[in-house]
Amino acid sequence: MPFTTQPNTVPTSSKAGVLTGLITLDRIRCDIAISSQKRLLEELAILLVEHSTALDKDTVFRVLIERERLGSTGIGAGIALPHGRLNGINECVAALIRLKQPLDFDAPDQQPISLAVALLVPAEASGEHLQTLASLAHLFDDIERRNDIINAVDAVTLLQLFTSTIPG
């Protein structure tokens, strides 16, 4: 099944592909060995700026770190959703890292994370930001889908799981 990507595509229902239009194969990394929360955020910043002249790695990293200082973006069940709003961008962008070894991320359930999905949105896009985060959180509420994502064999499978329609 071919994927279509459209700029500024945001899920309008929980059944839509959550990251369709926001993530590309080159912004997904699987089985990466990372030993600290700071290093994970740095790697996510690198992925978020990949192939973009509008984004600066240091600025993106700073935005992710500043948001994390407000409270952990670990949501539980092995998942973290680092995110932030950024001036100077016109569309949302996402990146995903699945870790080789679980990493402590101060999640509310005290469980280490295995997957981090980072999201950047334009500074003025508060509603879009919240809607996308809510859609991601809803996606991970489905235990079967969450397990499929955490256990996906490769980046292509991860992309398919995030951009396909949620059953039901």
The residue length of the chain stands at 168
Alpha helix segments (H runs only) across the chain: 37-49, 57-70, 126-141, 143-150, 155-163
* Catalytic status, residue 83: yes
* DSSP string for residues in 110-132: -PPEEEEEEEEEETT-HHHHHHH
Among the listed residues 51, 83, 129, 138, the single catalytic one is: 83
Whether 113 and 96 have beta carbons less than 8 Å apart is answered as: no
Phi, psi angle pair for 36, to nearest 5°: -150, 155
* Coil/strand/helix, residue 32: strand
Active site positions, annotated: 83
